[in-house]
Amino acid sequence: MSKSRETPQTIRQRKGHEPIAALTAYDFPMAKLLDAAGVPLLLVGDSLGMVVLGYPDTTHVTLEEMAHHVRAVARAKPRGLVAADLPFESYETPEQAVESAKRLVDAGAEAVKAEGGRAILPQVEAIVAAGIPFLGHLGMLPQSVVEEGGYRIKGRDDEQREALLADAQALGQAGAFGVVLELVTPTVAAEITRLVDIPTIGIGSGKQCDGQILVTTDLLGTSPDFIPRHIRPEELLRDRMVGMIRGWKDGLAKRKP
């Protein structure tokens, strides 16, 4: 990665030329590590609700909690673009969406992400009109997990396929610089990637997207309790960490008083 800062424009220009690597960051040290590795897109994701704060799902994360973690990541001054999730019920109207997006930008975010397509188009247009770069999110929407009763793969029938295509095209026309596709069937994700002008960034949606995004603690094998099936970490670092801590603790008992 070059020493120049990433922007929404440089991320968008990677489509068809260079794969986009994106990972989540929730704090200063992780942002520094991702920067050292040259990751061009850092997402302060509301997944922090589960892997950092211990919530059962993302719907419990507040705007203030998001802003807190954005500030921590921004202090690392990474060269990668820092995007942040608009949390559950923080973008119900265009006015609220802009206000919430500005809160995250004031905390240090350089772009915001929200879940949905045509259903939130007025909010997306308002955010873009306010001069705030926007990243879309389609497919499985974690903020809807309670409503839908679980995490479900999207695009399995013609109705879902057509809806996803229409949503992706609408987001591109509204000014989004990219769109995350989560748990979309690979054939539909590949079709969306071919048909839209903006980059697609997949998670559990096959290899044909313009980029991939993962929860960093899943990639490293440090997420508590559960790691999604579409991720196969080379090593569960949490096991090694537990061993190191246990070794230090046991070593204390062997020291002479």
Active-site annotation, residues: 182
d(CA 96, CA 170): 21
> Is the separation of the CB atoms in 90 and 100 below 8 Å?
yes
User: Which of 221, 146, 217, 155 lies closest to 182, judged by CA?
Assistant: 155
Residue 225 falls in which region: left (phi positive, over 0), alpha (psi -120 to 50) or beta = left
Q: Give the CA radius of gyration of the chain.
A: 19
> Is the separation of the CB atoms in 93 and 121 below 8 Å?
no
In degrees rounded to 5, what are phi and psi of residue 122?
A: -60, -35
The number of CA neighbours under 13 Å toward the Cβ of 181 is 33
d(CA 97, CA 126): 8
Element (H, E) at 112: strand 111-113
> Is the separation of the CB atoms in 239 and 233 below 8 Å?
no
d(CA 85, CA 61): 10
CB atoms within 10 A of CB 218: 21
